[in-house]
Structure 1
């Protein structure tokens, strides 16, 4: 069942969060949709411009549509993450997406408002939800790179002004996370006081946590035991912080790095243990199983297990 992110957030706000998972290839989609159907959990499947360039937008959307037919009891939104106007307007016109993100966070506040408003106007005409971003996250994801010196936390007063000016449906905010595997290598955690102030100013407005991967110590250790070289200070968002952030308005949590680490672990271990193998399908099956198990755990952590029924009965 295809829904918009706005529909998801109206139900989940303050109660549970929806995982938003970046996808590139078939094995990921099988693992994601299989896990969601088993857990009866709503989710967001999202593509980036980088993924669209890699696989082609038509290929990605066709695979998502096929997965929806194979796993017919799923409830999900299709989201374009970190888009620019050229990607977003193309997606709006060609269809397939129920949600888009305009990332103008590197611009001035005024430019961000102007660019976001233009996307909101076009998207809302088609019933498509819009996510915007205020504040800048450090780190590396796909072809996006921002060093720590140019990142900054989101200002709660600006959030209130921005949402009123743009009429966006949700907002990604900078509260301490970063993209990539080294989110908290400096020791800081989520700045929950920023979430508290935003919620006080805009009660009920859905917030988005980018850079929401956990970066499991076990997965990193297994990668390195199989000749990987992930640095030991790789660290993500801890489970206790996720549980505190959800009641404060975090409705959508982006996951990308965890999936890349999982893929790396499975393939490094497989070819280390079976150096005579060369068929991609054998480790692919293992990856789908590990992916499914991982996502079932995320649904539990985010509190959305069993919540798909809230949308199926509408």
Structure 2
């Protein structure tokens, strides 16, 4: 049976560890997520974006998660809508069986973000579904950014406290310097851990790190050696992920790492045998590569062995 996001993250919040929230767009990614959780004895959050749902179809998206959840009944798992853009999108996901949703109104002014989040919280809580929201703008901190610019981009701890109190949101994604995708930092990686700790102190709820892919060296090298081009991408170092968890992060979103690891293996197989057209010969190594990334991530975040 699927759990709510709150049920999984409240324990992480109380015990001080992070739970991986892994995006999927097909059966192969989802199966690898469950296999990794089984191997690491870790709770998981599986998430689908609106784009992924459009690609797979809502019934397939929910059906696959329910199927694999029944195959691994010992694994605590929540099905989360990642970056829901509207009230209607969140409502549709809840009706279909999602146990957690994110309403992302962070691009609006504070008051409108709060209003939209309140609407979703009221609806979702009536259905036993948890809600995530976001404050601040997700973009990497550059070396030459000024204090004023930094404050304009990153989460304001006082606003975070008010937002959580007024909205009733279950967990919050505070912008502390990460960004989505593979290209997070132009200079040395920087995250505002002091700001994170202050948000945690003021809100005392599970916090979420978006844009948290690390792009480990072995994944990057595998991708580059098979003809890929990451254009000097930089991820969030493992040490930063661990420091973020110490500072109060309990949900850590991961997507880019899985895609890069998977495609590196697909390219490797294609390069080694250009007569190959059995899809299983491509997908099985890709799934194994993604599983390795996720088991390692669960160990780093501290969720391994928590079942």
Report how far residue 72 of structure 1 moved: 2.5
Report how far residue 69 of structure 1 moved: 2.2
Deviation track 1:151-178 (CA, whole Å, cap 9, x = no partner) reads 8111111101111110100101110100
Gaps of 5+ in 1: 140-147, 309-314
- Provide TM-score, normalisation by structure 1: 0.90
Report how far residue 23 of structure 1 moved: 0.5
Match of 2:91 in 1: 89
Residue 185 (1) aligns with residue 186 (2): yes
Match of 1:247 in 2: 246
Residue 231 (1) aligns with residue 231 (2): yes
* 1:199/1:205 contact within 8 Å kept: yes
Match of 2:81 in 1: 80
Report how far residue 185 of structure 1 moved: 2.8
SS at match of 1:136: coil
**Root mean square deviation, CA, Å:** 1.8
Match of 1:123 in 2: 124
* 2:213/2:254 contact within 8 Å kept: yes
* 2:8/2:76 contact within 8 Å kept: no
Match of 2:206 in 1: 206
Q: How does 1:140-289 map to 2 (within 5 A)?
A: 152-202=153-203, 204-232=204-232, 234-289=233-288
In structure 2, what is the Cα distance between the partners aligned to 1:207 and 1:193?
14
Report how far residue 117 of structure 1 moved: 0.3
Report how far residue 281 of structure 1 moved: 1.1
* 1:120/1:167 contact within 8 Å kept: yes
In structure 1, what is the Cα distance between the partners aligned to 2:52 and 2:46?
12
Deviates more, 1:25-34 or 1:119-128: 25-34
In structure 2, what is the Cα distance between the partners aligned to 1:209 and 1:172?
6
In structure 2, what is the Cα distance between the partners aligned to 1:282 and 1:182?
30
Report how far residue 218 of structure 1 moved: 2.5
- Provide TM-score, normalisation by structure 2: 0.92
Runs of 4+ in structure 1 off by over 4 angstroms are: none
Gaps of 5+ in 2: 141-148
* 1:216/1:235 contact within 8 Å kept: no
* 2:263/2:286 contact within 8 Å kept: no
SS at match of 1:115: helix
* 1:46/1:81 contact within 8 Å kept: yes
Residue 101 (1) aligns with residue 107 (2): no
Match of 1:66 in 2: 67
Report how far residue 68 of structure 1 moved: 1.3
In structure 2, what is the Cα distance between the partners aligned to 1:2 and 1:127?
12
